[in-house]
Chains A and B, each alone.
Chain A
């Protein structure tokens, strides 16, 4: 059930940007699908990239912000990952990776739970337990419950 960590590698070789995501066998490798979505100049004035190979490139890419998306599969739904890079004078000045929002808990699957204990659990009757309190969903008031059952009976009528 656990998905391996999302790692996206940006490689710039001879002015060609290759994005590889190491998600799953089913993941799509993005290359050459890049289309400039914004052609205005970037806001970053000091390129901070560590990708020094790009500076020796032929610079066949225009300045701008480029983005691409790729799909990958997790149980329950397809997920989409969007990678955006900003090029200035042939150098990547910034990059970002955005997961799709189609499953809000998707992010939770990706790396976090490796450091936690995991158990498959079942319920036991409270009557047999030595406890001083119970913590769960807050009990609702009579008003809430009444309104909800009223709605339910209207729906059935």
Chain B
């Protein structure tokens, strides 16, 4: 039995895939190529940074567009999250983030920000199509990466693997046939060479969200659609859930919506770090924290 590891850069972050039960080297190489192509196909559809993506086409013209097979589940999740967060998590934030400066060319020049329209006024979808009533720049960054990690996991499972770790820039899925937990450091947002605690996951996903890296001027990549400002009180969130899409989306939503409100509709446990370095975590969030005193 061999442990194999593959690392690459895709969808704007670093990926690392570790599989511990590889027996066939050639099959492994093929599988990794297949996964890489799958990630590229996802990027070509959902990236707002590509000129040839579906997202970019929708930002240029209104109408009904064909949706790939993976689209419906992602949109349905976004719609649930939109409702659970009272509209705070919305793909319609895309134009706001771009206007704030995090745009296709990374201009980081801030224009005047305009509050995004309501979901129901602009977007509708079916299992195979999406319709936008006006040219609309969507951003699926809150849950898209997590969803893609789940898709990659599905590919590994289908290939017969049962023990592996997928890490897409800190969105982590860990599966272990023997039930061995993966210790994951919770990064100190003030210093990426440090952690403020260690969480344990097994057959679960852990995602983090923090404004500490993708920031410019007074903004980071999370912007409250109601007030058009980036949150500053909460500086990092971590979420453990049974799937990565949920962990990813909730990690973002916690910047705007209370855990109890989100728990009415989603299963997860979480840890929330405030700017004064106070960490709040659920009693069932498995973590050892590094206490200040």
Contacts and interface: CB of A to CB of B under 8 A. Distances in A.
B2 interface: no
A104 B256 contact: yes
Nearest to B182: A132
A125 B206 contact: no
Interface of A: 1, 76, 101-105, 107-108, 111-113, 115-127, 129-141, 143-144, 147-148, 151
Contact of A138 (B214, B231, B279, B281): B214
A87 to B, nearest CB: 26
A139 B190 contact: no
* Contact-size category for B: 35 or more
Given A118-B280, A124-B195, A135-B208, A130 B13 contact: no
Contacts of B168: 138
A126 B209 contact: no
A111 to B, nearest CB: 8
Contacts of A141: 9, 12-13
Contacts of A151: 108, 216
16 contacts: A101-B224, A104-B231, A104-B256, A107-B258, A116-B280, A121-B196, A121-B273, A124-B195, A130-B198, A131-B195, A134-B187, A135-B171, A137-B236, A138-B169, A144-B12, A147-B105
Contact of B189 (A133, A137, A143): A137
Interface of B: 9, 12-14, 105-108, 145, 165, 167-172, 174, 182-199, 206-214, 216, 224, 226-227, 229, 231, 233-234, 236, 238, 255-260, 272-273, 276-283, 289-293
B211 A137 contact: yes
Given A124-B194, A138-B171, A140-B214, A113 B12 contact: no
B231 A148 contact: no
Nearest to B181: A132
A121 B165 contact: no
A133 B182 contact: yes
A123 B12 contact: no
A121 B189 CA distance: 12
Contacts of A127: 193
Contact of A133 (B184, B191, B213): B184
Given A136-B187, A148-B108, A101 B226 contact: yes
List the 4 closest A-B pairs by CB distance, nearest first.
Answer: A136-B187, A123-B194, A147-B106, A138-B169
A148 B105 CA distance: 11
Given A101-B226, A135-B184, A121 B197 contact: yes
Contacts of B106: 143-144, 147-148
Contact of B233 (A103, A111, A144): A103
A137 B208 contact: yes
Given A138-B170, A139-B13, A126 B278 contact: no
Given A116-B259, A122-B196, A122-B291, 15 more contacts: A102-B227, A104-B224, A118-B278, A119-B281, A120-B278, A121-B289, A123-B195, A132-B184, A133-B167, A134-B170, A135-B206, A135-B238, A136-B213, A140-B214, A151-B216
